[in-house]
Structure 1
Amino acid sequence: MTGFVNKEIHTFNNQVREAEIRIAAFVAEHNLPYAITDHLTKLIVKTCPDSKIAESLKCSRPRVQAIVDNVIGEESFKALCEDLRNNKFSLIIDESTDRSTTKHLCLVVRYVKNYQVRDSFLGLIPLVTADAATLYNNIIDFFKVYNIPYEQNLIGFASDGANVMMGSNNSVMTLLTNELKELFVMKCICHSFHLCASYACSKIPRFVENTIRDIYNYFSSSPKRVGMYREFQIFCELKIHKILHPCQTRWLSVHAAVSRVLEQYQALKLFFIDASLNDEVLAATNILQKINDPVTLLFLQFLDFVLPIFNKLNKEMQSEHAKIHVLYDQVCTCLKTLFECFLKRDYVKNTVLEKIEYKNPHMFLNLDDMYFGANAMGTLLKDKNLTSEQTHLFKTRCLQFFIEACDQIIARFPIKNNPIQHFSAFCPENVKKGERPSIVDVVAMFPKLHDSPNYQELDTEWRLLRNTKDISKFSDNIEEFWMSVSTLKCGDNSAMFPKLSAFVFNILVLPHSSANVERVFSSINLMKTCQRNRLCTRSIIGLLHTKQYIDKNNCYNFPIGTELHLKMSQKGWYTIQTNE
């Protein structure tokens, strides 16, 4: 009888602990202040007066903070470190300064677990200085403290293109590659393409960008003007949309701002006619002059056509899924699309991409035959008020845009002899075609992605795979396809393609951008608000690992394993750090 009672008490205690853990997870998931739990527990008791679990809850602010930091967050971190000890991984880093002027180095890792490529927040290191040696030493010390064998398991590195990160002389990249000779390095393609578009846009007359900013600034701090403008939107039967700000540090914002101005162009014109007549504000008159200038409309329509070429690739490469296998083809497609706007099509079609002389005027189309976007071409045909000088200015500046854009892309992403072009061989559709007889060249270029110096075993598996009929039924999603390949068995029930599937998953672990780190900083900004600006680094780390632990399951559904119950039953977990 005593054993039965003890079992009941143990079950009840576990139910109380689970409730406390879920409340702590709820607070972390929704970026709520810890102080709210002092009142939340009283509310739960009041609304559930008959619940013994509610009466037994202990969810004070310090206790919930300790659960987040020392129970859920710590177990999440321990599990991640264990995964990194047993799997190859890539490291993606960036540094940023938060609201309280605390500079942090953020570490994100990409690795494979259960045949899925996942990005996981690893750590946040406070910094005083952010020179290359300091960043490098902090990274190496972090791996050593937590016993992560980076010399064997670190296969890829990515960050933005800042000199301290990716400079050719003294940077984190050079220090890492000096120690890890075969490390795969990728400068974030999203940052790179943003810069390509920015440099190309410098060839467009400055007044175009100034006009967009002036329109935004005219409305940004005046509710009265916004209210008046709404009447013009209704009159023109347009959606009630705000004018957007073209922020230079945001990858996709410029095109969104251009597109919004074009959408509202007629209403804006009518509004500024009225404003210039009635308000006698010089800014309104200047904006009206620019809006009435047909060249402004032409350049906006051109940007509305050309910027999505960059943004489409940018959006795809911000994906949390593996994209390294399609990156080379996507960049080449983007480059060809730009080439065909101003170069002779036969020349582009019949010339190897890296040998195209895109600066050679002999290969240019006539100015009148170049492509500047359908809407801009329509305006050129319809608007009889355009002078030949205006038309020539528009076309020559757009040509300069194309050349500068191609220049920047090729400088930042070499087309010739780029090793990642071979990764497309592992796309499901290409594997199913069976056109590639050997992968020795790819294996030789990336020796760190496989454990054996014997290429023959890998190549034999590859040659067998291309003749296996079962793969025709597999998914075209690359992770699902290679998961199915890894489950194929021989007659003796041993794995049929163990080395090949492991090699390909290591390729998928290689990074293509640093967007995942940017997402972490965005998450931190939601936590460390103006009201919570004293939130310390330790608590931020606990919150981030807690969010990661509950992951796709919300706080109501995530599984609470025995390790969390055991952790809460141990002495010493209920400690907190200096916090808000």
Structure 2
Amino acid sequence: MNTSALLNVVRTPRAEKKTVPTEQKAAEIELAVFVASHSSIRAVDHLGEWIRQRGAGSTLGNLRLHRTKCASIIRNVLSPALKDGLKKAAGGKKFTLIVDESTDVGCQKLLCLIIRYVDSEKGVVDAFLGLVPVLETNAETLFHSMKNELETFGLSLEDCVGFASDGASVMVGVKNSVWTRIKNVSPNCIQMKCICHSLALCKQHAFAKLKSNLGFLLTEVPSWFSHSCLRRDAFQRIFDTLNANSESESGVSHPTPFMRASATRWLVRGKVLYNILVNWEELICYFNIAELESPSDRKYKARLIKDMLNDRMNFLLFHFATPVVQEFECINAKFQSSNADPHELSKELITFHRSLRSRLYNPLGEKKDIASCDFGYKFVSECEKYLMEVSEDKKEAEVKRVAATKERCHMMLVEAVRQVEERLPSPENVFVGLSLLSPLKVLNQLDRTRFEDLPFPHLFGEKVSTIEEQYRRIVLVDWSSEPVFKESSVPKETLQFWEGIRKTPMKELAEYALTCLLTPASNAGVERMFSLVNWAMNLHYCEYVL
């Protein structure tokens, strides 16, 4: 084709870009929000088409939303809007910082940041700032990554009133850590080592004082069934046969010994112990058969597990360890609540410590001998029952074995008390201080905390006189007749009480109390966030492979 021919080519004009109606834009953004909150982005391919077909003749009939566009809306519209909203709501305010670092399934090091602040409308709010990729996990890198991310939201470390993390030395070390750098910037900041982490470590170190084969059973019994439906079915058949004539509780299924223990799941070990314990006889029967029928590479492990299950001392140790571990996990679960009442947490922690200590010490603080220690009724009764069943020629030897088992249990109790007293005193003191803000104390005319004894006096600031006067008057008001509480009785929960007071003329006192209550009980929120991230990354990896 020559030049003249090229000049004669008639170019087809581009189609004019259609203007998308505002109603359609709003519908697509709302659907993108739904998908981001409740499902994978790929689901919008089918959901969008279904909505468009069902919404024919309306705004929804013009909906054009698939995963590429949905991801773009989330990334370029929703994310900036949410960040701007958080910046306006939290910028310049006092806040508590909850931090943890981890590595995802793609081997990317991530720093997770969550803040707690007092929102002008919602009260105390937990807000997720983001996952910050880091190349190194030394204190200097983590601190500057955290500082830079906070500044993008208009937040300054000078306004940080509390810092919560796990007990890693890079986070809370006394010489060269993230905490020492925060302390230089904000001298009045309160450090909170995660109590959930600490309780889990107390439990782990105490449990290690028992025989090592208990840990082997705790790992290998669930692992034996974890990837084999045939083994699970075989165990279920044995269980049904042995319990054919027993009456099961109505509506409650019998727990199976299939759940696996995990160091990062704080509330699992007690359940695994209990599940193995209640299925002990069934497991003995199953592994007696499994030893004979398993292939050669699995016979040895089946024999080991069978021999351990047939050792009555292991059965007794499970009876002792299960309630002790469950007690640790019960108190741990209470501290994982986002808005737990500090007054209640303080009482629970003190009661737990005293209860644990009373098993080894009398009311005068004197240590009991082993015979007088509280090992638990079930453990003691099972020991007595076993010794009654032993023949006379073996009784002397078995009495010594039971005594050695009790010695192991005593070692676990001693270590548990030592770990609790070593790891938990500082958080306990903080929560004792926060408990003074409970309405049960603030409104008590007979046993009321003095103003100068209230926690964190540095938060009074320039309004100290106003806050002091409001603290004098708060006890003189009949709050049950005030409009803010008139529809219901005066709340006993500390957070709920002060959020109500914030709507009254005593706003300054309430703001001070709520700022104190920003102090987190744990960084369980960060752990939940990492669980969601790892789940999403695993899902993305599976989709990529497929």
Q: TM-score, normalised by structure 2?
A: 0.85
- Whether the aligned pair in 2 keeps the contact of 1:302 and 1:373 (CA below 8 Å) is yes
One of 499, 503, 506 as aligned partner of 2:508: 499
Distance 2:198 2:427 in 1: 18
- Cα displacement string for residues 517-543 of structure 1 (whole angstroms, at most 9, x for unaligned residues): 1111111123223435899xxxxxxxx
24-33 or 429-438: which moved more? 429-438
- Whether the aligned pair in 1 keeps the contact of 2:451 and 2:468 (CA below 8 Å) is yes
The residue aligned with 1:431 is: 442
Could you list the runs of 5+ residues in structure 1 that have no partner in the other structure? 1-8, 349-362, 489-494, 536-580
Distance 1:206 1:393 in 2: 15
The residue aligned with 1:311 is: 329
One of 380, 392, 396 as aligned partner of 2:407: 396
One of 130, 142, 145 as aligned partner of 1:135: 142
SS in 2 for 1:125: strand
One of 106, 129, 133 as aligned partner of 1:126: 133
- Whether the aligned pair in 2 keeps the contact of 1:438 and 1:463 (CA below 8 Å) is no
C-alpha change, 1:263 and 1:442, in structure 2 (3 Å) is same
- Whether the aligned pair in 1 keeps the contact of 2:196 and 2:335 (CA below 8 Å) is yes
Distance 2:445 2:313 in 1: 52
One of 371, 380, 392 as aligned partner of 2:374: 371
- Whether the aligned pair in 2 keeps the contact of 1:90 and 1:510 (CA below 8 Å) is yes
The residue aligned with 2:496 is: 480
Shift in Å at residue 254 of structure 1?
1.0
Distance 1:461 1:223 in 2: 66
- Cα displacement string for residues 412-451 of structure 1 (whole angstroms, at most 9, x for unaligned residues): 22269934422212222233433444443444x5234233
RMSD between superposed Cα atoms in Å: 2.7
SS in 1 for 2:41: coil
Distance 2:539 2:135 in 1: 22
64-73 or 511-520: which moved more? 64-73
The residue aligned with 1:352 is: none
Distance 1:75 1:479 in 2: 29
Distance 2:384 2:25 in 1: 72
SS in 2 for 1:418: helix
Could you list the runs of 5+ residues in structure 2 that have no partner in the other structure? 1-17, 249-253, 482-488
Q: Does 1:382 align with 2:390?
A: no
Shift in Å at residue 273 of structure 1?
2.5
One of 13, 17, 28 as aligned partner of 2:21: 13
Shift in Å at residue 278 of structure 1?
4.9
- Whether the aligned pair in 1 keeps the contact of 2:451 and 2:471 (CA below 8 Å) is no
- Cα displacement string for residues 185-220 of structure 1 (whole angstroms, at most 9, x for unaligned residues): 101000011001111111111111112222122222
Shift in Å at residue 322 of structure 1?
4.1
Q: Does 1:200 align with 2:210?
A: no
Distance 2:433 2:154 in 1: 34
- Whether the aligned pair in 1 keeps the contact of 2:24 and 2:59 (CA below 8 Å) is yes
Q: Which amino acid aligns with 2:154?
A: N
Q: Which amino acid aligns with 1:339?
A: R
Q: Which amino acid aligns with 1:133?
A: E
One of 392, 411, 435 as aligned partner of 2:422: 411
- Whether the aligned pair in 2 keeps the contact of 1:155 and 1:448 (CA below 8 Å) is no
Shift in Å at residue 335 of structure 1?
0.9
- Whether the aligned pair in 2 keeps the contact of 1:118 and 1:321 (CA below 8 Å) is no
SS in 1 for 2:82: helix
Q: Which amino acid aligns with 1:515?
A: A
- Whether the aligned pair in 2 keeps the contact of 1:425 and 1:436 (CA below 8 Å) is no
C-alpha change, 1:116 and 1:232, in structure 2 (3 Å) is farther
129-138 or 419-428: which moved more? 419-428
Q: Which amino acid aligns with 1:466?
A: V
- Whether the aligned pair in 1 keeps the contact of 2:113 and 2:130 (CA below 8 Å) is yes
The residue aligned with 2:310 is: 292
Q: How many residues align structurally?
A: 500
The residue aligned with 1:553 is: none
- Whether the aligned pair in 2 keeps the contact of 1:236 and 1:267 (CA below 8 Å) is yes
User: Higher relative contact order by CA 8 Å / sep ≥ 6: 1 or 2?
Assistant: 1
- Whether the aligned pair in 2 keeps the contact of 1:273 and 1:288 (CA below 8 Å) is yes
- Cα displacement string for residues 327-353 of structure 1 (whole angstroms, at most 9, x for unaligned residues): 433222111111111211x225xxxxx
- Cα displacement string for residues 155-191 of structure 1 (whole angstroms, at most 9, x for unaligned residues): 1111111111111111100110011100011010000
Distance 1:77 1:244 in 2: 40
Q: Which amino acid aligns with 2:346?
A: Y
- Whether the aligned pair in 2 keeps the contact of 1:326 and 1:423 (CA below 8 Å) is no
Shift in Å at residue 72 of structure 1?
2.2
100-109 or 78-87: which moved more? 78-87
C-alpha change, 1:397 and 1:505, in structure 2 (3 Å) is same
The residue aligned with 2:71 is: 65
- Whether the aligned pair in 1 keeps the contact of 2:342 and 2:494 (CA below 8 Å) is no
- Whether the aligned pair in 1 keeps the contact of 2:171 and 2:179 (CA below 8 Å) is yes
Q: Does 1:347 align with 2:347?
A: no
C-alpha change, 1:226 and 1:143, in structure 2 (3 Å) is closer
Distance 2:428 2:317 in 1: 36
The residue aligned with 2:176 is: 170
One of 313, 323, 332 as aligned partner of 2:350: 332
- Cα displacement string for residues 454-513 of structure 1 (whole angstroms, at most 9, x for unaligned residues): 3x443332232233332594011222222333334xxxxxx0x22221111111111121
Distance 2:428 2:132 in 1: 37
Distance 1:192 1:80 in 2: 31
The residue aligned with 2:98 is: 92
Distance 1:326 1:122 in 2: 29
SS in 2 for 1:296: helix
C-alpha change, 1:389 and 1:524, in structure 2 (3 Å) is same
SS in 1 for 2:425: coil
Distance 1:180 1:145 in 2: 19
- Whether the aligned pair in 1 keeps the contact of 2:41 and 2:71 (CA below 8 Å) is no
Shift in Å at residue 272 of structure 1?
1.9
Q: Which amino acid aligns with 2:258?
A: I
Q: Does 1:518 align with 2:527?
A: yes
Distance 1:169 1:449 in 2: 26
Distance 1:286 1:149 in 2: 58
One of 151, 164, 185 as aligned partner of 1:179: 185
The residue aligned with 2:461 is: 451
Larger Rg: 2
Q: Which amino acid aligns with 1:313?
A: I
Shift in Å at residue 15 of structure 1?
2.5
55-64 or 243-252: which moved more? 55-64
C-alpha change, 1:42 and 1:173, in structure 2 (3 Å) is same
Alignment of 1:266-277 (within 5 A): 266-277=281-292
Distance 1:240 1:148 in 2: 48
139-148 or 200-209: which moved more? 139-148
- Whether the aligned pair in 2 keeps the contact of 1:37 and 1:61 (CA below 8 Å) is yes
Q: Does 1:217 align with 2:220?
A: no
C-alpha change, 1:439 and 1:78, in structure 2 (3 Å) is farther
SS in 2 for 1:165: helix
Shift in Å at residue 240 of structure 1?
6.4
SS in 1 for 2:192: strand
Q: Which amino acid aligns with 2:470?
A: E
The residue aligned with 1:252 is: 267
